[in-house]
Amino acid sequence: MTAVKFCGMMRPEDIEACNRLRPEYAGFVFWDMSRRCISRDEAGVLITGLDKSVIPVGVFRDQPLPDITAAAETGIRMVQLHGSEDQEFIDKVKERTGLPVIKAFTVKDANGINSALGIRSDRIMFDSGAGSGVRSDWSLLRDVKEPYFLAGGLDAGNVEEAIKELHPYAVDVSSGIETGGRKDPAKMERFMEAVRRADLAYRKEEI
């Protein structure tokens, strides 16, 4: 079954929707250049209300290690690094926080894909940018066999196609479940339904 990550949780209403729909992951952005950035205090409150079955992920981009270790105290259970962090930095994050790491990479060309696959992290993510809402170049990912998170321009209208074509481990969505810059519970529900339809169709194909 394809895992789902709803990213950019900012309000109690977002948490309520997560608790009802039960994605596998919920993302909390700590990068202060993002419009979805929240403080550690805000994140701590939201994470406290999140169902334990949903893994809270802290999202960072080229931030100092102390910022990440401090944010780990909010209750996040996974770290997502969305910048130019290298292997040494990834290893330090894992050592200092004791948390698994998702390393995100921008999909540009085949060489970039191969370099990403050489990084040692718990999970990798292929994206078109940092919350850009632009679709990734799926053609570059067709031959990737390692499990990965797919992000970039996904919504309820195209996620079924993405799953059927690429079979990623997980799909990550933020702007695709928003209306007017806020998470839209109806769009979150439609996205989840689309993912499950794709999973059901794929299982039928395998039988």
Taken as a whole, the chain contains a residue count of 207
H helices of 79-184, in order, are 87-97, 110-117, 159-166
Check 7, 14, 18, 172 and give the catalytic one. Answer: 7
- Residue 129 is which amino acid? G
- Exposure string of 181-206, with b = 16+ CB inside 10 Å and e = fewer, is eebbbebbebbbebbeebbeeeeeee
Residue 37 among the catalytic residues: no
| Distance in angstroms (rounded) separating the CA atoms of residues 85 and 125 | 13
Check 109, 127, 137, 143 and give the catalytic one. Answer: 127
- Looking at residue 141, what DSSP letter applies? G
Q: How many CB atoms lie within 10 A of CB 45?
A: 15
Using only the alpha carbons of the chain, give its radius of gyration: 16
Residue 143 among the catalytic residues: no
H helices of the chain, in order, are 12-21, 40-48, 65-71, 87-97, 110-117, 159-166, 185-206
Distances (CA, A) of 81 to 42, 63, 65, 141: 20, 9, 11, 20
Q: How many CB atoms lie within 10 A of CB 145?
A: 7
Which residues belong to the active site? 7, 127
